A and B are shown apart, each in its own frame.
Chain A
Amino acid sequence: MRILNRREVEVFEAKIENIYGAKESLREFTVLLSGKEDKIWIANKELFQIPLEKLRVNSVGLYFGRIDGGKLRLSVEGAGIIGLKAEKNVVELDEAHLWDFLRGFDIELKEKVPETKEYVLVKHKNDFLGIAKLEGNTLKNALPKSRKIVSLTK
């Protein structure tokens, strides 16, 4: 796991701004990379007063997302953080589609949405639910298996 320096974070923020229009989205966090530097984690800055080198560390902070084939693939929580500042590439679901999305199904959108090769943020009212890939007017569900809900309670 490696902590990104300020310049590296700025490059990363620029990528996020380019995709979602969210400015300075990571300024308040410490940003870390793990794995083959494809997994991104964020943590509060005070956490690093703990001498981590003395511990057998499994993970640090919150899983923000990963780089998947050059595309930024945010976690549900990562989508929630960016969603608060996002100005584009956001798809809003109605009540009926919400339940299907949370169950892991792809969604056929009735209205035309702008094309993009990036993952879009998916929201319902003010709740950010995660991300999806757009293929034509189909929202390809990208919820992790562990977050899908088998049967929903409204």
Chain B
Amino acid sequence: MHDFKPVYIERYKKLLGEEWDIFKEAIVTPFPSSFRINTLKGKRHEILKRLEDKGWKIKQVPFYSEGFCFTEKRDFVLGNTLEHFLGLVYIQETASMIPPAVLAPKPGELVLDLTAAPGSKTTQMAAMMENQGGIVANEKEIGRLASLRMNLQRCGVLNTVVTQMDGRAFKIIDMKFDKVLLDAPCTGTGTIMKSPHTIKTWSVKASQVMSGIQKQLIQSAVNVLKPGGTLVYSTCSLEPEEDEENIDYAIKKMGLKMEKIKLDGFKTRSGITSWENKEYDSEASKSIRVYPQDNNTEGFFVAKLVKE
């Protein structure tokens, strides 16, 4: 049984209206396991053939050709399979595949993953870049570096340097990237099913504090982005303070331009443009909200911005 705080219920009723009842069920309901095929370790069709031969019942994620989810209950643990050992598959929640898919890094580009651990999105980007070009995978927390390095290793990533820095330090670094992924640290209110403790730790104050840190990280991202470069900002939080408020900041204070996001076959909602007596830039509506009830995934927020 999940006990939502009254203030949480009040906020989400305001955000979702009549959908609150559906949302509160969906946010705590287990969703189908999903994974990515790692094309750095094998060809897509060969890996798929192998999984098919083993009888895995899977279907492709609509917006990403290397993403799959199980269509039937499994009697095995994906992390204990030979395919996982070999790095042919990477366990990753469907919604978590969206930010790299939207950033769309290409072979030869220079990319910064500002908050990289545990490396799901870094390894996805390395595969999209075919191990060419370069990625700086940065992680502030030393305790999270081991999982990041382990995942890069298992996936056979050759185009990545791991750095251990406070992401905010990139605000004063003189170097430029074609693309930056800022999958920001957040309160995680989109991942309650996976992390039930979030219900207890979350507060409006926590979101506001996080929002301040996220704005500083946006400043860093903008500093190291080339003119014409793309920034994808994402969180697994559904709090407007951590999402559209920061996009409003990126547009108005940092001069970034929004780009529309299109994910074929995957239901998303437009970003909101007002919240609790605050009006956000109308362009914030080009960002997307992923609600758990729409696709049976985690909740997520993603925005695509360009530096002029």
Contacts and interface: CB of A to CB of B under 8 A. Distances in A.
A54 B85 contact: no
Contacts of B65: none
Contacts of A63: 153
Interface in B98-118: 108, 110
A52 B161 contact: yes
Nearest to A77: B156
B136 A55 contact: yes
Nearest to A56: B165
Contacts of B132: 44, 46
Interface string B134-176: 1010000000010001101110111111111100000001110
A5 interface: no
B141 to A, nearest CB: 12
Mostly, the A contact residues are mixed
Contacts of B81: 152-153
Contacts of B131: 44
Nearest to B149: A59
B160 A46 contact: no
Interface in B36-88: 41, 76-78, 80-82, 85-87
B229 interface: no
A46 B134 CA distance: 6
B152 A62 contact: yes
Contact of A50 (B82, B86, B134): B134
B196 interface: no
Given A75-B153, A149-B80, A151-B80, A56 B164 contact: yes
Contact of A62 (B82, B153, B175): B153
Interface string A131-150: 00000000000000011011
Contacts, number: 99
A88 to B, nearest CB: 23
Given A44-B158, A63-B153, A152-B80, A57 B134 contact: no
A51 B170 CA distance: 13
Contacts of A153: 76-78, 80-81
A16 interface: no
A154 B81 CA distance: 7
Interface of A: 29, 42-44, 46-52, 54-63, 75-77, 80, 98, 102, 127, 129, 146-147, 149-154
Given A80-B41, A147-B85, 18 more contacts: A44-B131, A44-B159, A46-B134, A46-B159, A47-B161, A49-B134, A55-B163, A61-B161, A62-B153, A63-B153, A77-B153, A80-B86, A80-B156, A147-B154, A152-B80, A153-B76, A153-B77, A154-B82
Interface of B: 41, 76-78, 80-82, 85-87, 108, 110, 131-134, 136, 145, 149-150, 152-154, 156-165, 173-175
List 5 A-B pairs, minimum CB-CB distance, nearest first. Answer: A153-B76, A47-B134, A58-B162, A59-B162, A44-B158
